[in-house]
Amino acid sequence: MALDTQDLQDAVIDDRERGVFRVKRTTMTADAMWHLERKRVFDQCWLYVGHTSEIAEPGDFVRRKVAGRPLVFVRGRDGEVRAFYNSCTHRGARVCRQDHGNTKSFQCFYHAWTFSTEGKLVGIPDKEGYAHAVDPAELGLRPVARLACYRDFWFVSFNPEVEPLEDYLAGAKEYIDLVADQGADGMCVLPGTHQYACNANWKLMVENSVDGYHGAPLHHTYFAFLASQGDDDGAKQLRSVEARAYDLGNGHAVVDYPAPFPRAIARWHPIYGEDAKDELQGIRDELVDRCGEERAHRMAETCRNLLIYPNLLLLDVAGLTLRTVWPVRPDYMELTGYALAPRGESAAQTRRRLEGFNLFLGPGGLATPDDIEALEACQEGFAATAEDYSDISRGMHRDAATVDELQMRAFWREWQANMLGLGHGAHDEGPKPAPAGVAS
């Protein structure tokens, strides 16, 4: 199936007057959609690559796959952060073959060309075999087109013309701040990652990660466990009047709601035991001193599922999770989850944080396996009904709540505009977050 403009226009029905929003399911099944997504979404946007704490020292590196492209994210011996294509300029072999580490240089194992951590080609065995026209200065590791950082979160873009990262992040910046400010000395990624997958279209996981509507029915077993531990208001919080959803511009969106879970920062829960009360109170007091009562309240007692378009989720929930969603085929995605924590927090705090993280999130948790099951069930259903539309209209006639679907409409409006080659989509539905959320 070749796509034309009409197909892309028909892919999303956005009828504000009637309060109807629908997405055609071929957007999640067709190869042609996926091929175009690679060009018009993943080759255009800013994409998350890593966190400053993962390459803290000169020579530190991590390997990453970003939109299917193997990269090395490295802090050079000169202290500067760079991102290179992990492919030898000689004949293309993957140069760095370790997931992470610290190195003086990268040597390709095939013919032993050697590159510095700054990407320069510094060693060619039997160099006399080359004519003068073969200039090592031109054969350094190829850097990605753009690399930029906001609050220790690093993004790459394969589009040299992409707008500045801070403009791109738009209203999401304030929400990233609410994560980045949780540690007085900044945040760090803990060792260990969840590397898993789902046999469904990647956009289903993006939707699911900000979907408050499914929380109570799908995650019954998780909330039942919390209730068994002496907390029975869990699922109710998702429906509280304070539970909101916002379109943050440029496809970013958030659901912002009172915490239905224990939070290591800094909502005490019987699960933590009496012993933890003092430490959590101390953390909360420090947050108030540093950030003011209003922001401290938001960090401690409320939760956020933040979507950074197109495929990064910052889930500030029972644990603090960074999740990336990478399409591999229209019906298969790879997922990676990282745990974030305030730098230098106590061992007891890390333990509470990880217990909360593991219990809910991740491939061995009490909740995420059912999310995966639900998305796969959708993809299976699409086999029968690909020409049909999915309905994402919930809450279009009111100021959207967490259990509504405004956050998904924000994604799809951006997606459709990108796919049509029109730049950013319209992001005018619903109120913007109250300015009270900004630093006081």
Partner 1 sequence: MSVAAAASETLLTRLAVEDFLYAEAALLDAWRLDDWLALFTEDCRYFIPATDLPDGDPRATLGLIDDDRARLQGRVDRLNSAKAYREFPWSRTTRLITNVRLPADAPDTAPGELAVAANCAAWRYRKGDEQTLVGALEYRLAPAADDAPAAFRIRSKRVVLTAEALRPHGTLSIIL
Residues 169, 310: Cα–Cα separation, whole Å: 11
**Are the beta carbons of 58 and 117 closer than 8 angstroms?**
yes
| The only residue of 231, 370, 420, 433 in contact with partner 1, by rule CB under 8 A | 370
Among the residue ranges 146-154, 159-167, 371-379, 399-407, the one whose residues contact partner 1 (CB under 8 A)? 371-379
Least distance between Fe ion and beta carbon 28 (Å): 18
Residues 422, 414: Cα–Cα separation, whole Å: 9
Residues 312, 207: Cα–Cα separation, whole Å: 12
Q: Tokens for 164?
A: 């500045």
| The only residue of 16, 35, 91, 397 in contact with ligand FES, by rule CB under 6 A | 91
Residues 362-381 that bind Fe ion (CB under 5 A): 371
Contact letters (x/-) for partner 1, 89-108, by CB under 8 A? ----------x---------
Does 88 bind ligand FES (CB under 6 A)? Our answer is: yes
Least distance between partner 1 and beta carbon 206 (Å): 16
Residues 6, 305: Cα–Cα separation, whole Å: 33
Amino acid at 71: L
Task: Pick one of ligand FES, partner 1, Fe ion, none as the site partner of residue 12 (Cβ within 5 to 8 A by kind).
Answer: none
Does 198 bind partner 1 (CB under 8 A)? Our answer is: yes
Nearer to ligand FES, 123 or 258 (CB): 123
Does 90 bind ligand FES (CB under 6 A)? Our answer is: yes
Count of residues for the chain? 440
Least distance between partner 1 and beta carbon 366 (Å): 5
Task: Pick one of Fe ion, partner 1, ligand FES, none as the site partner of residue 99 (Cβ within 5 to 8 A by kind).
Answer: partner 1
Nearer to partner 1, 206 or 406 (CB): 206
Least distance between Fe ion and beta carbon 336 (Å): 17
Does 94 bind ligand FES (CB under 6 A)? Our answer is: no
Q: Residues interacting with partner 1, by CB under 8 A?
A: 99, 190-199, 218, 220-222, 224-225, 228-229, 332, 334-335, 337-339, 347, 350-351, 354-355, 357-359, 362-364, 366, 368-370, 372-374, 376
Q: Residues interacting with ligand FES, by CB under 6 A?
A: 88, 90-91, 93, 108, 110-113
